[in-house]
Structure 1
Amino acid sequence: MPKIYLSFVWHMHQPFYKDLVSNEYKLPWTRLHALKDYYGMVKVLEDFPQVHQTFNLVPSMLVQLDEYARGVAVDPFLRCANKDSASLTDGEREFILRYFFQANVQRMIYRYPRYGELYEAFLAVNENTSRALNTFNDTAFRDLQVLSQLAWFDEEFLTHDSDVKALVSKGRGYSSADQSLLAAKQLEKLGLVLDVYRDFSKRGQIEVSATPFYHPILPLICDSQIAEISHPYVALPPRFRYPQDARVQLERSRDYMQQQFGQAPKGLWPSEGSVSDEALCLAHETGFRWFATDNGVLARTIDHAGTPDVTYRPYLWKQGKYEMHGLFRDHTLSDLIGFVYSRMGAKEAADHFLAAIRANCAPILRAGRDALVPIILDGENAWEYFDLSGRPFLRELYRQIEEDPKMEALTVSEAIAKVPAEPIGHIFPASWISTNFDIWIGAEEDNKAWEYLLRARETYDKVKDHVSEEARCLAFEELLIAEGSDWNWWYGPEHSSANRTDFDRLYREHLANVYRALGLLPPEELSRPILKVDIQVTHQSPRGPLRPDIDGQISSYFEWMGSGSYSIDQRQGAMHGQRFLIQELHYGSDGAWLFIRIDFVKGMEESLRGAELRFQFQGTEVTVPLVPLYETPPHDPLLLRAAYDQIFELRISQRAVAKAHPIRFQVSVWKDGLPLDALPQQGSIELLSHELNEWLG
């Protein structure tokens, strides 16, 4: 009798948050999702032994998870959570207020009454961290520190660990001992995650598949011009073509998974379901035997609507000596789990899901054919929106599947061994989103990110044979990280996040690290955000000529009177990792000299020690160290003089740097080869020629 085979593939993925130079994790999401979802999503299957599933694990995520489990990951969020509240600095308190409410309000914050109270208290001061410092005492901060971490603990831990249950029951008034206990429990639970995958994999109840190591969009790494096929005439950056990098990402993925699980994966979920013939050839050559993507890709491949009769079967892609089995996810049903069922009761959602499958499969079964239903989706982010992290829904769903004799849940490898495959001779190049690559390339921000990546990759090729093996390996590792899809997910108009600025900064830091590893100064462009950040700017044009003394002192209020000024509202853009160093900039001219004054943020003296300023004029870059006095030799056309003490002051020959009018410039702060701040964040400050003419008559 024909049967319905369900093939669930849960994709577990977080970006690579670690900076390889500082060894610091810039964002906490790998740790938090490991506490909340990675363990429990597998462990719940223990009660349903007949339900087999596939879990797709991203190797670069597992690297981070392993470091957390061994207690060697450095994470400023975790440091703030574990520090005694009485010894928190004001900066750390503001950090906690800004970031520790980043959780689903209804399902995670209000689940814990005290957490909800603290959240409402923060709302009462309009989420103003400075005002909140006056209302949150040490006890409130400690409760927030504990509950913001406890809210991410998996249902398995909340239910079966007596220490964790006791912390939940306590509810408020937590002590330093409670903080220490919770910190120890985090480490303990993180250490369980990889073992549960190994255990269920050995049992044969789950199959582990993988993506390329750092989650790149393989077709675009092979050849970025391929985006034109799915989106004709799309605006593209200069061509990026490095199939050798794509091969490395695939090979390293299999090698790492072999090391962790004792066997290399057969299956590949190519990052974001992105496929092309060239990418599949590489996947076959490196040992993968099946892939999965979206049924929208299938529809454009076979020029047929992605209906159940064509979606519910495996396919065999074959070109010459290369071949791979392929599954094409039911887009509609997968998205119901991801985006709809969180608003329904557990039984109501499970009933609806299985009824839809039975209705879709009925004509296929009547025709005497088995139906293979691919359900493929994100295995972590959806559960924040479900009651009790979606466990009641999953339990009801799995119970009904086990009880239905006409239905069976299989791993992908088990399913393609049972159901005959339909041959296809090519694959349409696209991702699972809108059957194109528009999320990652084509928009202005996306294209700029690709341009920066290409320049770094070309620089690596030119320099790699002239540096040590250690430097070459570090530079190449940073390039592979920068090739990941996650950075461009946030560029362009499609997505937004409270951490969007953090992703932008981290991407540029990875590229800057490429240059640093090669012994080169990173280009000035990496000092400025790629994002079109909405930051409030106060800009006053100059009102008269200047002639200040360049001594680094605030000699007189009148010395810079009439200057132009430029400052930003730092509260708008000061996300984690984005420390503002420049408080305000003043500028002006007397017709012969351009004068610039920089007031730095108070308390940043140590951060500025050993730093330098880079001034970008029209086609001219001038680097000035932050030292008490700096002057160029008399024969130097810049005739530059700079002084740094209470403030920074600079005088430079206008003729040497201004080849034309208006005069444009931008300043950035660099230290140890990394950009720390820039003003303006985007674009340049202009000194218009008509302003000079008006002053000078």
Structure 2
Amino acid sequence: MAHTYLVFVWHMHQPFYKDLATGEYQLPWTRMHALKDYYGMAAILDEFPKIRQTFNLVPSMLVQIEEYAEGRAADPFLRLALKPAEELTGPETEFILKYFFQANPGRVIQRYPRYHELYEQWRAHHTDPAGLARRLGVAGLRDLQVLSQLAWFDEIFLETDPEVRALAAKGRNYTREDQLLIGRKEQQICGLVIPTYRRLAQAGRIELSVTPFYHPILPLLCDSNIASVSQPGAPLPRRFRYPQDARVQMESALDYAREKLGIRPAGMWPSEGSVSDEVLALAAELGVEWMATDNGVLGATLGRLAGVSETCRPYVWRQEGREMKMIFRDHFLSDLIGFVYSRMDASAAAHHFLDRIRENARIVHREGRDALIPVILDGENAWEYYERSGRPFLRTLYQLISQDPGISAVTVSEALRKLPAADIPRIHPGSWINANFEVWIGHEEDNTAWEYLLEARETYDRVTQGPEGASLTEAEKQLAYQELLIAEGSDWCWWYGPHHHTENRAEFDQLFRSHLAQCYRALGKTPPAALSRPIAHVAAEAFSQAPCGLIEPSVDGEVSSYFEWLGAGVYRPDHRQGAMHGRAALLRELRFGSDGVRLFVRADMEQSSPGAMAGLELRLTVRASNAETEFRFTLARDGAHLSSMSGRGTRHALPHVACAYSRIFECSVDLAGIDASASAPLQIQVSLWREGLPLEAAPPHGWLEFTPGEPAEWE
């Protein structure tokens, strides 16, 4: 009987946050994820002996974890979290108020009532940090110092460590001793990360693979012009061609793993799944046996859509006597975990995922062969969007897999030994995102970064290979080259350009330019003046405006008149994405308002033609003072209809609802029928769903609030 081999590859990665000149860490995220995901994602496997997985580790991340574990990391975020609250200076307090609320509000902050209480005060008064500090007082600041750390602790410690459980249960009014305990626990947890991976690997429970040391886009290091193959016509910077750097990044990663993890990895997830023929050839020369990327790259390689049949098998690339075994991640399945299941009940999500695996496997089994199901994704950033860091979901999923005799969760190398590979003579140059490199090259900001990197790289060669190099020590040359290797990392250009957004955009920009500047200084050169100026431009954030007048639009699904929605509230989402890259946005704009009797909502979507969103479900949730009502509208080519309504409240009659869909979606709901009045605040949220799976919500967190009978300008 045909069997199913399920391969999980969890990619663990953070940028190199340390400034080598000052020795200080510029951002805290390596430490924060070490407290939770880097340890917990591996340790949870102790509960499930039948589950074997592959963890892909980035050496530059592990280097940072080592420093935290040994107490050597100079981290101002940690230092201020542990400093006595009564001794904080004004600038230090402002720093804490700026950075210590950078967590998911719904899943991380709201889990701790006191943290959420402080967050709400920050939302109301963050433009006046001095005034906010006075409001919070010493006790409030200390609670923030402790809770901003505790909120990142792994579920294992929250469930089983008596001291951590006591801290969480205390909830507020923390003491200096509590701060010191937090500091000890953080170092202890960081110290468990690398030994846990080593232990599980030596026991055969997991396979360890690596990414090139500082997480560069290897094909672009080898030849940046390769981007024109997958991005024809894109404007590109001057050609960057340093395959020797790509080799160093790979070789140093393999050497680090051998020294610190006690194994020489057989496989590699190249940064962002970025591959090219030249990259595979270099990796093969270094003894790498397998690499992985996305099935979008597979489709571009085969010249046809890579469906289930194509994706659920291994391949082997062969050129000029070299070979590389390849697996291609199932983009859809992987993204369900990364972007969809966090909005679902944990058990329902786990069952849905296993159903999709079985469905895909049946297609392959009918062809008379075993199925390989490759699920590859970020092992850290998704979990802060899940209930309790995703552990209920993972525990349910792992238990279901363990109980299914037709499915084996195995490592990549195990799967490659069990399944025959199909030949591919070439690989399409691209990444896991759209099978191209557009996130990292082609946009003005990205191209500027590449120009600066190339100029520094050329300066390094000119100085070290010329007469000036004789006056430099080997340590200075090595430092300059290390700074270049760090600057070659993909993370800087991830945040440049229009694709992604982070509250730390300015810090990433400064870090990239600082690494290049340090390269020049190590070479005895004055850094170019351009490195003192930001590369990143100011980007537009989500726009929200309350209604400023009563409205009475025609509910017909058409833009009948510019004036019919004049005075409505407007919400435009921020479509830039964060550390996790998902699919393209669907909702372009929401408009909302009232005539004092009815609620009106309009959704403008990113569609190529009227009715193009047919098949989706639009859900409108309305909160009034005593009730919450959800309306589900099915979108069709010929319009829309209300498919269901549910909620709680004191209403005695169903509200009258009208809806329409063509160029836009419009609906109206009687206020009285949902226990709402024109004089009381109303909250709304709109979300899009497909086949019971959530796609997008606006706003993504919280609600749009207004008073139907009191437009903003009348107040």
Per-residue deviation, residues 209-229 of structure 1 (Å, max 9, x unmatched) = 000000000000000000000
String of CA shifts for 1:392-448, please: whole Å, max 9, x gaps: 100111111111111100000000000000010000000000111000000000000
User: Which residue of 1 is the match for residue 511 of structure 2?
Assistant: 506
For 2:498 and 2:363, locate their aligned partners in 1 and report how far apart those are by CA, in whole Å.
41
| Shift of residue 468, structure 1, vs aligned partner | 1.3
Q: Distance in 2 between matches of 1:92 and 1:36?
A: 26
Q: What displacement does 1:134 show?
A: 2.5
Letter in structure 2 aligned against 1:330 = D
Q: Report the counterpart of residue 445 of structure 2 in structure 1.
A: 445
Shift of 1:247: 0.4
CA distance in structure 2 between the partners assigned to 1:180 and 1:361 by the alignment: 51
The answer as to whether partners of 2:53 and 2:207 remain within 8 angstroms in 1 is yes
Q: Secondary structure at the match of 2:6?
A: strand
2:534 equivalent in structure 1: 529
2: CA distance, partners of 1:512 / 1:293: 33
Contact 1:122–1:128, Cα closer than 8 Å, also in 2: no
1:100/1:144 contact within 8 Å kept: yes
- TM-superposed CA distance for 1:182, in Å, is 0.9
Q: 1:123 aligns to what?
A: 123
Say if 1:320 and 1:23 are closer, same or farther in 2 by CA, change over 3 A: same
> Where do 5+ consecutive residues of structure 1 fail to align?
536-697
Query: What pairs with 1:5-84 in structure 2 (closer than 5 Å)?
Result: 5-84=5-84
- What residue is the counterpart of 2:193 in the other structure? 193
Deviation (angstroms), 1:534: 6.0
Matches within 5 A, 1:82-93: 82-93=82-93
Distance (whole Å) between structure 2 residues aligned to residue 211 and residue 226 of structure 1: 20
Q: How far apart, in 2, do the equivalents of 1:17 and 1:423 lie?
A: 40
Give the match's secondary structure for 1:136: helix
State whether residues 13 and 58 of structure 1, in contact with CA within 8 Å, keep that contact through their aligned partners in structure 2: yes
2:128, 2:348 → 1: CA distance? 41
Q: Counterpart of 1:28 in structure 2: which amino acid?
A: P
1:345 aligns with 2:350: no
CA RMSD of aligned residues (A): 1.1
Rounded to whole Å, the distance in 2 between the matches of 1:262 and 1:498 is: 37
Q: Distance in 2 between matches of 1:19 and 1:287?
A: 32
- Give the deviation of 1:260 after TM superposition: 1.1
User: What is the SS of the residue equivalent to 1:394?
Assistant: helix
Q: Which residue of 2 aligns with 1:265?
A: 265
Distance 1:240 1:127 in 2: 43
Q: In structure 2, what is the Cα distance between the partners aligned to 1:455 and 1:303?
A: 37
Structure 1 Cα separation of the partners of residues 539 and 219 of structure 2: 32
User: Which residue of the partner structure matches residue 469 of structure 1?
Assistant: 474
The CA deviation string for residues 37-94 of structure 1, in whole angstroms up to 9 with x for no partner, is 1111011111111111000000000000000100000011001100000000000001
2:432 pairs with 1:429:
no
Aligned equivalents of 1:210 and 1:200: distance in 2? 16
Give the Cα separation in 2 of the matches to 1:70 and 1:409. Answer: 34
State the distance in 2 between where 1:131 and 1:310 align: 60
Residue equivalent to 1:370 = 370
State the Cα deviation string for residues 487-521 of structure 1 (Å, max 9, x = none): 00000111111000000000000000000000111
Corresponding residue for residue 291 of structure 1: 291
What amino acid maps onto 1:522 in structure 2?
Answer: P
Deviation at 1:363, TM superposition (A): 2.3
The residue number in structure 1 matching 2:331 is 331
**Which residue matches 1:489?**
494
Question: Which of 1 and 2 has greater Rg?
Answer: 1
Measure, in 2, the Cα distance between the counterparts of 1:79 and 1:269.
34
Distance 2:355 2:529 in 1: 58
Distance 1:81 1:126 in 2: 19
Figure out how many residues of one structure are paired with residues of the other and give that number: 536
CA distance in 2, matches of 1:408, 1:382: 24
Are 1:267 and 1:290, in contact at CA under 8 Å, matched by a contact in 2? yes
CA distance in 2, matches of 1:106, 1:423: 47
CA contact 1:11–1:55 (8 Å) conserved in 2 = yes
8 Å contact 2:431–2:437 — kept in the other structure? yes
SS state of the match for residue 56, structure 1? strand
Instruction: Give the equivalent residue in structure 1 for 2:645.
Output: none
Classify the secondary structure of the residue corresponding to 1:374: strand
Whether the 8 Å CA contact 2:107–2:384 is kept in 1: the answer is: yes
User: Aligned residue for 2:360?
Assistant: 360
Corresponding residue SS for 2:209: strand
Please name the residue that 2:218 is paired with: 218
One-letter amino acid of the counterpart of residue 504, structure 1: D
198-207 or 356-365: which moved more? Answer: 356-365
Residue aligning to 2:485: 480
Separation in 1, partners of 2:98, 2:414: 47
Q: For the residues of structure 2 that align with 1:220 and 1:234, how far apart are their CA atoms?
A: 14
Is 1:158 the counterpart of 2:158? The answer is yes
For residue 260 of structure 1, what is the amino acid of its counterpart? K
What letter is aligned with 1:203? A
Alignment of 1:582-621 (within 5 A): none
Mapped partners of 2:313, 2:226: distance in 1: 27
**Residues 149-187 of structure 1, C-alpha deviations (whole Å, 9 max, x = no match):** 000000011111111111111111001011011111111
CA–CA separation in structure 2 for the residues paired with 1:522 and 1:164: 47
Confirm whether residue 245 of structure 1 aligns to residue 245 of structure 2.
yes
Shift of 1:262: 1.5
What SS class does the counterpart of residue 124 from structure 1 fall into?
Answer: helix
The one-character-per-residue Cα deviations of 1:371-408 (angstroms, maximum 9, x if unpaired) are 00000000000000111100010011111111111110
Where 2:136 maps in the other structure, the secondary structure is coil
Query: Is 1:520 matched with 2:554?
Result: no
Matched residue type, 2:137 = N
Which residue number in structure 2 is paired with residue 389 of structure 1?
389
SS in 1 for 2:134: coil
Kept in 2, the 8 Å contact 1:14–1:61? The answer is yes
Q: CA deviation at 1:533?
A: 2.7
In 2, distance between residues paired with 1:287 and 1:18?
30
- Partner-residue secondary structure (3-state), 2:347: helix
Q: Distance in 2 between the 1:377 and 1:363 partners?
A: 23
* Aligned-partner residue type, residue 186 of structure 1: E
- List aligned pairs for 1:503-652, cutoff 5 A: 503-533=508-538
Superposed structure 1 runs of 4+ greater than 2 Å apart: none
**Pairing 1:195-210 to 2, within 5 Å after superposition:** 195-210=195-210
Tell whether the 8 Å contact from 2:90 to 2:130 is kept in structure 1 after alignment: no
Letter of the 2:496 partner, please give it. Y
Deviation per CA, 1:3-30: give whole Å up to 9, x if none: 0110000000000000111111000000
Distance 1:31 1:70 in 2: 12
**Structure 2 counterpart SS, 1:498:** coil
Amino acid of the structure 2 residue aligned with 1:363: I
Residue 276 (structure 1) aligned with residue 281 (structure 2):
no
Which one-letter code corresponds to 1:398 in the other structure?
A: Y
Q: Match of 2:347, as an amino acid?
A: K
Aligned equivalent of 1:634: none
The two structures have a TM-score, normalised by structure 2, of 0.74
* Cα shift at 1:126: 4.7
Question: Would you say the 8 A contact 1:441–1:488 is kept in 2?
Answer: yes
Q: Distance in 1 between matches of 2:131 and 2:522?
A: 43
**1:318 touches 1:424 (CA, 8 Å); kept in 2?**
yes
2 CA distance for matches of 1:298 and 1:29? 33
